[in-house]
Structure 1
Amino acid sequence: MFPGGGDMQKLLQQAQQMQADYMQAQQELASSEVTASAGGGLVSATVTGDGELKGVKIDPKAVDPDDVETLEDLVLAAVQAATEDAKRLAEQKMGPLGDALGGLGGGLGLPGM
């Protein structure tokens, strides 16, 4: 027992459960996708919950050979918006687990930490 009545075995079991929850959340994020658009839907980008760009769709109406710069800006805006949405999703799923495991993982030497 630790001073104050703590039980090392119970603490380790809790840490292992938190690690399992964390890994589950990571897997869910990797398989989740968010899509955001720019230019009123002319350009959209899809990003996984863990930040991987999966695709970009461009409406043919957005393609103007004389104004490629606007299309580039729309693509950039769509990718940035999708990436921000993915970050928010990750914070929702991982926030409490990441905070808790960040403080425990290093000290307990748990794998994946």
Structure 2
Amino acid sequence: MKGNMNNMMKQMQKMQKKMMKAQDELHEMSFEASAGGGMVTVVANGQKVITDVQIKEEVVDPDDIEMLQDLILAATNDVMKQIEDKTNDTMGQFTKGMNMPGMF
């Protein structure tokens, strides 16, 4: 019985190391989303930190600030969804088959 427990602990430690490596790799990734046919582009890292916003000059219209705001929101929401999906795909492999509420 003791051998099984030690073996299980080693397996858990191995899985934990794999999870930490996968999480580190996710944090280093870069994600990009555009809106308005590329008029607004938002770049974020895997930690959900916006690292760049690019706005094409021709989309800046002082008489239509709302459109620019909508494009920025759309691109930002899209990039955040990409990060969320990738995180769920990557980290979900570690929780498959486990009924653990609150885990990826």
Q: TM-score, normalised by structure 1?
A: 0.80
Following TM superposition, by how much is the alpha carbon of 1:49 offset from its aligned partner in structure 2, in angstroms? Answer: 2.0
Counterparts of 1:52 and 1:92 in 2: how far apart (Å)?
19
Question: Comparing both chains, which one has the higher relative contact order based on Cα–Cα distances under 8 Å and sequence gaps of 6 or more?
Answer: 1
Give the gaps of 5 or more residues in structure 1: 104-113
CA deviation digits over 1:7-61, x for unaligned, max 9? Answer: 0011000000110001001100110011010001100111212322211111111
Q: Displacement, 1:102?
A: 8.0
Number of corresponding residues:
100
Which residue of structure 1 aligns with residue 61 of structure 2? 64
Question: What SS does the corresponding residue of 2:41 show, helix, strand or coil?
Answer: strand
**TM-score using structure 2 length:** 0.87
- Percent identical residues: 36
Query: Structure 2 unaligned runs (5+)?
Result: none
Aligned-residue CA RMSD (Å): 2.0
Question: Which of residues 26, 38, 41 in structure 2 aligns to 1:41?
Answer: 38
Q: Is the 8 Å Cα contact of residues 34 and 46 (structure 1) preserved in structure 2?
A: yes
Which stretches of structure 1, 4 residues or more, deviate above 4 A after TM superposition? 98-103
